[in-house]
Structures are given as structure tokens and as C-alpha cells.
Amino acid sequence: MAGGLILDTDGPASPAGAAVAIVPARMGSTRLHGKPLADVAGVPLVVRVLQGLDGAGLALTAVATDDSTIADAVRDWGFTAVMTGECRNGTHRVWEAWKLLGKPGELVINVQGDEPLVSPDWIRALLSRPLDGLSVTSLARRVSASAAESPNTVKAAVTAEGRALYFSRYPIPWGAESVLEHVGIYCFRPDALRVCAGCSGTILSDAERLEQLAWMEAGIRVDLIEGDFRGIGVDTPEDLERAVEYFSEN
């Protein structure tokens, strides 16, 4: 299959116990206000994400937020929450939370708080490819071009080896029958996380509202692993309805 990496286990995989997962969460989503606490069949959305990480064998999972309402809800469900100050973006919030937690683990996974179908399979895929230098690993799933027209989902153009060339809210590459839809999860080594967290917006990243474009301009390599990562990225009320329907039936 052209474009995107198929799950590769030839190299030495990193053990999950060497990794921590941090979920950045804030109330001020422009498309779905209060999204982290949106009710998904009786469970807050951000807690659904944390529950999805159960069984992955991670050293630690936590939510990073500047909202005490989110932190209280997370703790009420028995999970860890870290209060950060105001942050420029989700990656900056993950960096600040990781430092507040005492800099645990050899790898830091940023799990977007709007992916309630995240699973241990996603973590195993991320950790299957060793990180080198200032690189970041993420995931993607292949969808038809017609299904990727919404600007609420992020698409990626990659080399044959899976190195990201560009991310866009527009279906890319133009004319393709299928495209890679980016999945909201990243794996960093601490040095790469520090660089990404410190990146300021650029013309491209501000136009697309995609912070990873600023990382790439700063010299960070982003590798995408392609797989059947079924998910429901919750960005709109319609997405939330789909998530509620899924969890009500499963």
C-alpha cells in the first residue's frame, strides 16, 4: 500500500512501561464548547479516552488541564489530573504537565482528548517504531477522499517511507482516490517534546490551525504509521452523537 508506514516490528520496539501518556484538555473548544466533559453514554469524553488506554501497560496516564472542573471530574473517576497554567497549545500543556509530574518515563505520548476509541493497539503501534534524533511518531488511517472533505479532520501527505511532508484540513494529495487521515496521538522523546512545545506559530501552522506544521519547519521529522485505527474524532456535535451511539451499543 503506497503512502504511510505499515506497522513495522523489524526494529526494537520500546516497552510500554517506558512510556507515559498525557491527555491535554481544555474547555474552550471553538467547535464544541466544554468538549472534555461532554457526556458519552454516561461517561465524560476525556474519561472515555483514559479508559481506552487501560491495558496498554503504560507507566502512567494523566490529564493535563488548566480547568479545575475537568481535573475534579477526572479524579472522581479515579484517574490522575495535573493542573497547568495557561498554555499555547496542547503540546505545550503536555510538556508542562510532564515536568510537574517529575519527568517520568523515557517516552511521552500526547493523546488527544477527543479520540474516545483509542486503544492499547494504538500504543503498541506507536511504540513499534524506534524514535531517533528529533523525530515524532504518529498514526494515520486510510479513508476515501470523499469521506475526508470535512475541515474538522486532518489529512497528511507522506513519502513512501511514511515521513510526513504536509498536513492539511484539505484532502491531500489532490486527485487521490484515498487519503491518509491523521489520528490525534503523538510519541516523543523528551528532547523532541521540548523543541515542539517551544515552537511558535508560523504562517502555515496558523493558516491550517495545525501546530505540527511549525514543528516540521523547526526541523522535527514526523513519521506516520498507517493502520486500521478505527476512531471517532469528536470535533462537532454530530461527532459527539456518533460517539454516544457507539458506546451505547458496545
Decide if 134 is inside a domain: yes
208 near 161, Cβ under 8 Å?
Answer: no
Decide if 56 is inside a domain: yes
- In one-letter notation, the amino acid at residue 248 is S
CA 72 to CA 81: how far, in whole Å? Answer: 8
**Long-range CB contacts (< 8 A, 24+ apart) of 9-13?**
9/128, 11/128, 11/129, 11/130, 12/130, 13/124, 13/127, 13/128, 13/129, 13/130
pLDDT in tens, 171-192: 999 999 999 999 989 999 999 9
Residue 13's pLDDT is: 58
Decide if 250 is inside a domain: no
Residue 4's pLDDT is: 42
| Number of Cβ within a 10 Å radius of residue 221 | 16
CA 181 to CA 168: how far, in whole Å? Answer: 10
> Model pTM?
0.91
Q: Which residue has the higher pLDDT, 5 or 246?
A: 246
pLDDT in tens, 23-72: 999 987 666 778 999 999 999 999 999 999 999 999 999 999 999 999 99
Decide if 86 is inside a domain: yes
Pairing, β 5-6 against β 155-158 = unpaired
Percent of the chain at pLDDT > 90 equals: 80
Decide if 244 is inside a domain: no
CA distances to 10, 12, 142, 210, 246 from 240, rounded to whole Å, are: 38, 38, 22, 22, 10
pLDDT over 60 (residue 11): no
Pairing, β 107-111 against β 19-25 = parallel
Residue 210's pLDDT is: 96
The dihedral built from the CA positions of residue 41, 46, 48 and 51, taken in this order, carries a sign that is negative
CA 248 to CA 61: how far, in whole Å? Answer: 25
pLDDT over 60 (residue 5): no
Decide if 129 is inside a domain: yes
Residue 174 domain boundaries: 16-233
Q: Which of 23, 189, 200 is nearest to 94 (CA)?
A: 23
CA 163 to CA 158: how far, in whole Å? Answer: 5
Cis peptide bond prior to 104, omega within 30° of 0: no
Decide if 11 is inside a domain: no
Decide if 205 is inside a domain: yes
Instruction: List CB contacts of 59: < 8 A, sequence separation 6 or more.
Output: 16, 17, 18, 19, 20, 104, 105
Instruction: List CB contacts of 144: < 8 A, sequence separation 6 or more.
Output: 177, 178, 179
20 near 104, Cβ under 8 Å?
Answer: yes
- The number of folded domains in the chain is 1
98: domain CATH number is 3.90.550.10
Exposed/middle/buried for residue 78 (C-beta within 10 Å: 0-12, 13-18, 19+): exposed
| Number of Cβ within a 10 Å radius of residue 176 | 16
Average pLDDT, the chain: 91
Residue 226's pLDDT is: 96
